[in-house]
């Protein structure tokens, strides 16, 4: 019964959160993404002990790739694409680019820490989804 109340409450609040998201201006969304990127850079700097140049590259990679991913997803949305698989493929494409770019920036010890922090698991999941998409195309 308690679970039912929680689900009912969530269903009531969901439309409100969707409307709140829709009401955000592009500037507000951009600011939120920039703040998220700053937090991620700080997290990686602390976790991987990045030097100044590496911190700059990580920030540049995340900034470019996340905004490019958002632009690509906005194009799909504008074109009225409704398949979640397509949006997932876009996200996977840009996540893979970040993964590859980070490998070029991090030394071997940092890379090992990065993989242990969840990147290896994420890579495996992306590869699995890509294999599934490829098998559907055949």
Tell whether 6 is covered by a domain: no
Quick check: is 43 in a domain? yes
pLDDT at 3 over 80: no
> In degrees, to the nearest 5, what angle opens at C-alpha 50 toward C-alphas 48 and 51?
160
> Mean pLDDT over residues 72-83, rounded?
90
Structural domain count, the chain: 1
Q: Return mean pLDDT, the chain.
A: 86
CA end-to-end span of the chain: 47
The answer to whether residue 105 is domain-embedded is: yes
Taking the whole predicted model, whether its pTM rises above 0.95 is answered as no
Q: Could you identify the residue written with the tokens 């958002």? A: 70
- Which residues fall within 8 angstroms of residue 110, CB to CB, at 6 or more apart? 48, 49, 50, 54
| pLDDT surpassing 70 at residue 135 | yes
**128 located within any domain:** yes
The arithmetic mean of pLDDT across residues 85-91, rounded, is 92
Give the tens place of pLDDT for each residue, 25-43.
Answer: 888 989 999 999 999 999 9
Look up the domain containing 127 and give its range: 29-137
């Amino acid at each position: 019964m308690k679970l039912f109340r929680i689900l009912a409450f969530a269903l009531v609040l969901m439309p409100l959160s969707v409307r709140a998201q829709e009401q955000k201006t592009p500037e507000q969304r951009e600011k939120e993404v920039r703040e998220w990127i700053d937090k991620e850079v700080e997290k990686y700097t602390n976790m991987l002990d990045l030097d100044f140049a590496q911190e700059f590259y990580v920030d540049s990679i995340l900034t470019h790739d996340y905004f490019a991913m958002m632009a690509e997803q906005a194009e799909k949305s504008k074109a009225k694409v409704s398949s979640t698989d397509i949006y997932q493929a876009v996200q996977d494409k840009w996540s893979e680019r970040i993964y590859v770019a980070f490998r070029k920036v991090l030394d071997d010890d940092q890379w090992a820490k990065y993989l242990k922090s969840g990147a290896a698991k994420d890579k495996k999941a992306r590869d699995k989804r890509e294999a599934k998409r490829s098998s559907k195309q055949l």
